[in-house]
Structure 1
């Protein structure tokens, strides 16, 4: 019998009102690294719009783990605001997830005032500094920081913890053989390269037990030479399933550092990205941006074929992501054995889209996947849909 995506569902120990998740997209609403009323309103609107679970993006486990200084580092100073945010989402009938991570080589060391870390040393196109290779002491500290972050969020009322293992962030930089050239126990074989991700998943689970659901955001494939391949992505997922530390996997792809459009597909907003960058980066974007922001045609559920390889290899719950904004696509995902779907751009355009789809007032979202929302993460007004602003005049 096909699962109804709009009926209540259980994710680990958490009851959701439906199986539709707002995927993490940096909200651009924390100019001082603190929860703001604007951030609360952003997620409250999504909850009021019907999503079962809304995800707060890029909650850093340590100061050098931010992509830049405007992001939240979870700790004592940010916990009260995070508690207010969780309460607002609960009051609107939704559940709340915190995406916890360490940006690794995607971090801007100059903005953060601390050199970025990665599996192996490499130049940073963001800070024009060298990225430092993480030491064993760094990895022990960061593992403890993940556990402490998880505890703070659960105590603040968060229902789900999403461990960021993709997009060339720190854990992903260890997984990708082209970024991990280590010759110690953290490099070489996939078993070694996956050691950090699995260690952190275990530490988070041991810290929170069944007080929250724990999911991992993993890569179907990274989309660049030297990145995680589809076969390795499936093998990693099988390891994580065997560890029994996660309640579900959210299947993503691409690399914020090497090939970001592999994740997004559709329009390439090169001019808008260049305009949002500091002058040196802006000039670089204009000259080599088309090679960095590669064009991929958009099609509905563009990760589905690769995700089906994971579905065949695993029994654990899976979240399908990638250009979903039709009721028919959601229903098809359920019929193919996926337990949840994640949406992002479609909900930036229409925060109440889930209500509309559930009530069958509309079968498709209005998002045109122009991707002009991507550069707005740097906008003082916060991440938003420029197309919607244009329509409103």
Structure 2
């Protein structure tokens, strides 16, 4: 039996360790120069002018909502097929949250359903102030369609690209032109890591300044921002209620080092995806695809079992786990969580996302997954499906 194979895992090199050790022995462990260097590097990668680092993507989503003026009178829409942070960030601001069902092919927020829901919302005077599309599994949403709807209906857009650093939409990096703010995650199972950490990128300087202020306790030391004349270089002002959402120098050093291998990470992920296509051919499953407008960074490889296997999904999951394969389910629809049920949501409201959830499993996908281990994953999945049909 193979050693445990997780669905995702970081790749840490000697250079990564050396970069963190160098930061650890420098004059600054936090609020030093490396965070700024990391911000500039990620902004440049995404084709944006400004980057704002945070201690997590969740924190970055929160301050992005606040920077766009989200408050208790506002409505924010996102997808039910995402991690809870994509919705929670709006709730933190006191806003009401709603969802748009997903496209059955990409598993992303469906632009057709978004357009239909916007038409209904306009007649009811319940249009969203912000829409948060999520690039699920690293596959970009149809951002131009969302952008055009945003201009027609007057809402702002936050791209939740937590899965999708290095991905491209119509040949350009995600976050480059069709949103107000774009968020990346550097959690260890993501495409690259800073241990924990997130980043907001934008082309709007005022939004960048506002997010940076919020991340740093609402404090500024910039004289141009002071309400009064500065009595000395020691002076600072708290200009709003902010948070301690700062990224450390150690995290930024790791992130900068990982950026050097981002292209190779994505190349290997895409190679493994092509192998999965070949190895899984003929099985009673639906494989994830890639739209003609998309270049996916392939954070996840979610398969969908055929309808006949719906009732056996738990058994297949357990079989894989018992054979040291760390499959996972991405995601339980947000609107079905107890917290959101308390807001009035229920099963049956977003049927495409619910049907996808009922039959999906994510197979291991990370750069250091060997061909041999991948073949073991596939053979074990075949065995699990054969056993499920016997049962």
| TM exceeding 0.5 | no
Larger Rg: 2
TM-score, normalisation: structure 2: 0.33
TM-score, normalisation: structure 1: 0.33
